[in-house]
Structure 1
């Protein structure tokens, strides 16, 4: 399950179920921690799960290579679509991203650490961190409209931009970090949600990759004179 842990997903059916082995269909899916509900609309040949909170948007089944490549930096994102064929990426804001701890080989072992261990690009998504979730005052999710070229995302809020920046930095997509820095500027005091995202970015200051240093310089220059 991409958006939340399965233990926090509620699936309802209108099918009469007499025993555990009976087949049924999912009519309503609720994600309480994210404030999301999807309702099925069944057609003659197919069914769609429409989102209650975002009118007209339903879970997309389109196979788009460009969008899939773009989602490599958003492993917990899902694609929404409307009747006009426009795409959107839905992401949980309640999932706190971080890099995994690396277990280095003991000094007495002859096995050398793999190159990927020096600069791992995996991320860990922590669901249910109470302090993290409490700082998100509005919706516990972000919706990013996909550009018509299906190769870029629009970031509607500063928080959504900072979240995407953190994800890309954590996954070492430094070129994408530098490209989107200009979207992460503010001339007002940061909200608790925005501040914790900015603080999380600072926690990655130990990244010693040369491109990470360049990315931090780019961020510093872009946010010079702002509350960030």
Structure 2
């Protein structure tokens, strides 16, 4: 597809779905597919693909309209061309071989399948995570499954969400993600809990405690904590801990407090 603006160089849309395996375009498509369905990703080049033959043209612009994200390709201070975020200053997709630093940070994303790592020019790392509705379907053959289904098109969730994405700085120790807002902490708590990482979830509960009612976007995440059944003792302990953390807020709980207290 060709887009032309009389004031700018023409842009050509690339089909990421058919990127050839092993190419830089395929690697980019795999990364972007973690954030969004490729049908909702617009990748543009200023080079006419018809003139390239079998060689993939460079990607000059990437737009993810539903997530309100844009990335532009430009050289960094080191002269290396990267895709830089327009929305988050000084953050870009890492390039080159995996480093130990990035490999360690990637381990923190085990419960966050729809995340990507971005970095600054000083290699400070951040996890970019779309705020979409996660579900953990019951699998009879695997009762302790942690498989998540991401309902990216859920209109109720998307309309209530104030932030289409969350950005989590990776702590300098590479041992945990930092949540800068209560909504971000709630969402990470939800994902850790659904992944049955009860210890990781428990560490986040102090960050979501409050004595006032949540905002609507925060409450929908809080309410979703009660959407999955989990009888594991550690899960019951997390439920009790969250109940105490928001006990003075006067909010409706997403679970039966008496039932969970009895189970615990």
Q: 1:223 to 1:189 in 2, by over 3 A?
A: closer
Distance in 2 of aligned mates of 1:22 and 1:48: 19
RMSD: 1.9
In structure 2, which of residues 144, 161, 175 is the aligned counterpart of residue 119 of structure 1? Answer: 144
Equivalent in the alignment of 1:74: 112
SS of the residue 2:188 aligns to = helix
Q: Residue 72 of structure 1: CA displacement?
A: 0.4
TM-score by length of 1: 0.86
Q: Residue 136 in 1 paired to residue 161 in 2? A: yes
Tell which has more relative contact order, 1 or 2 (C-alpha 8 A, sep 6+).
Answer: 1
Distance 1:189 1:175 in 2: 26
Report the alpha carbon displacement of residue 45 of structure 1 after superposing the two structures with TM. 6.8
Matches of 1:65 and 1:81, distance apart in 2:
13
Residue matched to 2:81: 47
**Equivalent position of 2:65 in the other structure:** 32
The 2-side partners of 1:80 and 1:188 are apart by 34
Length-normalised TM-score, structure 2: 0.75
Q: How far is the alpha carbon of 1:186 from its aligned partner?
A: 2.7
What is the distance in 1 between the residues matched to 2:94 and 2:207?
Answer: 27
Match of 2:232 in 1: 209
1:7-26 aligned within 5 A = 7-18=39-50, 21=54, 23-26=56-59
Within the candidate set 159, 184, 189, 1:165 is matched to: 189
Q: Report how far residue 188 of structure 1 moved.
A: 3.2
Give the distance between the partners of 1:7 and 1:86, measured in 2 at CA: 31
Deviation digits for residues 63-113 of structure 1, max 9, x if unmatched? 3232121110111111111112211110001x21110232x4xxxxxxxx4
Structure 2 unaligned residues grouped into runs of 5+: 1-32, 252-264
Q: What count of residue pairs does the alignment treat as equivalent? A: 213
Partner of 1:222: 245
The answer as to 2:176 corresponding to 1:152 is yes
Gaps of 5+ in 1: 105-112
Q: Is the 8 A contact 2:211 2:246 kept in 1?
A: no
Q: Which moved more, 1:189-198 or 1:35-44?
A: 35-44
1:179-204: CA deviations, max 9, x gaps? 11101123333222111101110112
Deviations, residues 85-143 of structure 1 (Å, cap 9, x unaligned): 211110001x21110232x4xxxxxxxx4xxx222111111111111100013x31000
